[in-house]
Amino acid sequence: MAANAGWWGFRLRVPPGYVPKPISLVERLAVGFVLAAILATACLAALVVWPGNPEISYRIWAPLWLTVLPVLLCLATPRILLEQSGVAAWMVLAREKGDVSRADAWLALLCVIALILAWFRSLGSIQFALDVALADSAAALLFLILQERITIHWKRWGVPIPDWLRRNLEDEERKNVREQDRGDTPAPSDAVIPPDSGAKPIYTLNVSAGTSYPVGIQIPDDVLECLRKLNTDAHGTLYQSEPQAVVLMDRPPVEHAGRQEILRLCAQILSVARKHQLPPTACANMVLAFVQEAISYKFDKESTGDLQGGPYPEYGRFAVETLHDQVGDCECTSLLCASLLSYLGFRVALLWVAVDSTTANHVAVGLEATPDMPMEGLDFVSAKDDSGKLYLYGETALDGSTSPFGCFTDWDSIKVEKITALDSPRAAM
C-alpha cells in the first residue's frame, strides 16, 4: 500500500516517501466493532420510539444482527478494497496518531453518552439487546486502546542505526542500567536523550504540531578555537576547497575536531526519531526543518565582524560553529544540515546553485532518492555524472518558515551548476 495523492489528507500529514504498513486484522476488527456499536445503538434508539410497538423478538434480534453484520463485513471485505477507500485512509491515520489520537477520547465519550441516553429511554423488554450493545461498545473501546498502545509498536521503523552512532546510544542505555542499579528510576527504553549538561544554546526540535524536544551540545572552547582557526586561515572558503572535510570533520585538515559534538547531537535527534518511529524521509525532513527554524539568516559580512580578521565577505562555518553562533547564511546552514544528515546515515550532496546569475552563488542540500521513495510531484535534480542518482532539493536558507525536501517552486530563477556527493563518515580513530 503506497501513499498517493488519492488519499484525502494523507500527503498533507505524512512526508513524501513514507509507505504505510498495511492494515492489520486487529484494525479491521476495531472498525467493525465501532460501526457495530454505532448501528446497534441507533437501532435501539429508533425501536424505543417506534410507533406501533414492534414485536419483542424483532426488537431484540434487529440490533443483534446489526451488531454482527459490520464485523463480518470488515473481516470479509478484501483488503485491497479497504486500502483503496477512505476507510483504510482513516484507519492508517488513526494508527499513525499525531493529532488523530485526540479523537479516541471524544469517540469514547460520544459512545458512552449515546449508550446512557438509549438506556434511560429503553423499555424493560429490550434490556437484553441494550446489554449486548453495551458489550459491543466496551469491545470497541478496548480495540481503540489496543490500537494506541499495541499497534503503534508494530509500525515499521525504517531508519537503521549507523555504526558511528551506535556507541552513543549504547552509552545512554548503560547509563539507564546504572541508574537502575543505584535504585533510581530508569528512563524507559524509548526515552529521548536529553541535551548535554551545560549545553548552550538549547535548541527546540519539532516533531509535529505541539510535540517538541530540547536538544543541545556543550562545545569546548578548544574545539571551537580549532575550527575557527582552520576557517580564518582559509579566509572562510575552506568549504569550497575541502567540502568533505568541512561537512564530515573526519579527515585532514580537520582531524575529527567537532565530530564528537555532532555525534552527540545526532544521537539526541535519532532518539527522538526512534521514539516516534519516524520513517526515513520524515526524519530527514525533521532535521531540515530544525536547521531552517534554529538558525537565523544573516549575510557573512554582517555576522563575522567579531571574528579574527573579520568581517569576511565569505565564511562557510563548520556545523559546530553554526550551532554556537546561531546564525549563518546559505552555505552555513547547508553545511550544518549535510553534517547532521550524513551522521544520521543519509546519503546527501551539496548543491551549488546559480540564482539569477551565470555562476554558482548559492548552496543547498540534496537528499539522495532511494528506490522506495515516490518522486511524483517532488522537485529533484539529477547527478552530473553517469551514476543516475537523483537528489531531492532541500532549501536551508529559510528564515521563519519551513519547507521539506522536494518542495521547491522557483525553478525559473535558479540552476544547479554542480553537485558534490558526500561520502559516508569514516570510522573513529
Query: How confident is the model at residue 180, as a pLDDT?
Result: 47
Domain locations in the chain?
Answer: 22-154, 203-421
Asked if 279 contacts 158 with a C-beta cutoff of 8 angstroms, the reply is yes
Residue-wise pLDDT tens digits, 294-343: 999 999 999 999 999 989 999 999 999 999 999 999 999 999 999 999 99
With cut-offs at 50, 70 and 90, classify the pLDDT of residue 157: very low
Q: Which CATH architecture has domain 203-421?
A: Roll (3.10)
Quote the CA–CA distance of 384 and 418 in Å, as a whole number: 7
Strands 327-328 and 296-297, bridge-based pairing: parallel
Kindly report the pTM of this predicted structure. 0.65
Nearby residues of 382 by Cβ (< 8 Å), 6 or more positions away? 388, 389, 390, 391
Instruction: Inform me whether the pLDDT recorded for 111 exceeds 90.
Output: no
Place of cell 434511560: 120
Query: How confident is the model at residue 359, as a pLDDT?
Result: 83
Nearest alpha carbon to residue 394 among 243, 285, 273, 315:
285
Quote the CA–CA distance of 217 and 200 in Å, as a whole number: 7
Lowest mean pLDDT among 1-5, 285-289, 365-369: 1-5
Asked if 284 contacts 388 with a C-beta cutoff of 8 angstroms, the reply is no
| Mean pLDDT, range 405-428, rounded to an integer | 83
Query: How confident is the model at residue 370, as a pLDDT?
Result: 80
DSSP alpha helices (H): ranges in 150-279? 163-181, 221-233, 238-241, 243-248, 259-275
Instruction: Inform me whether the pLDDT recorded for 117 exceeds 50.
Output: yes
Quote the CA–CA distance of 257 and 360 in Å, as a whole number: 29
